[in-house]
């Protein structure tokens, strides 16, 4: 049996203006079927602030899905926590 992480979802974002400002952001992600992961991140995923996002040391934001239940409990939020809520690039199986 193979071991490793099963990626259930990939997400990328295009640059848009952040909340009525001139600041560009790629935080609003959409699900895609497949992507190439290179040294700077997923192809077609855009970052507005390359100093803090993207590049060889910040190419992919991964958040494991088994952490959502704990996060929901700790934050005592009524809303559903799930893939994309934290603006990550991928989501794996619990």
| pLDDT for the residue 43 | 92
| pLDDT for the residue 23 | 93
Model pLDDT for residues 18-69, shown as the tens digit of each residue: 888 999 988 888 999 999 999 988 999 999 888 888 888 888 887 777 777 7
pLDDT reading at 91 higher than 60: no
Residues 6+ apart with CB under 8 A from 65: 8, 82, 83, 91, 92, 93, 94
Tell me, yes or no, if the pTM score tops 0.95.
no
The C-alpha atoms of residue 91 and residue 68 are separated, in whole angstroms, by 11
Q: What angle do CA 66, 6, 41 make, to 5 degrees?
A: 95
pLDDT reading at 75 higher than 60: yes
Q: Give 32's strand partners.
A: 10
């Amino acid at each position: 049996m193979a071991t490793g992480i099963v990626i259930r979802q990939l997400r990328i974002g295009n640059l848009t203006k952040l909340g009525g400002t001139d600041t560009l952001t790629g935080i609003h992600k959409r699900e895609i079927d497949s992507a190439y992961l290179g040294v700077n991140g997923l192809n077609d995923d855009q970052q507005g602030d390359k100093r803090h996002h993207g590049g060889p040391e910040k190419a992919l934001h991964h958040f494991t899905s088994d952490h959502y239940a704990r996060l929901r409990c700790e934050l005592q939020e009524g809303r559903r926590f799930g893939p994309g809520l934290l603006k990550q690039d991928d989501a794996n199986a619990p």
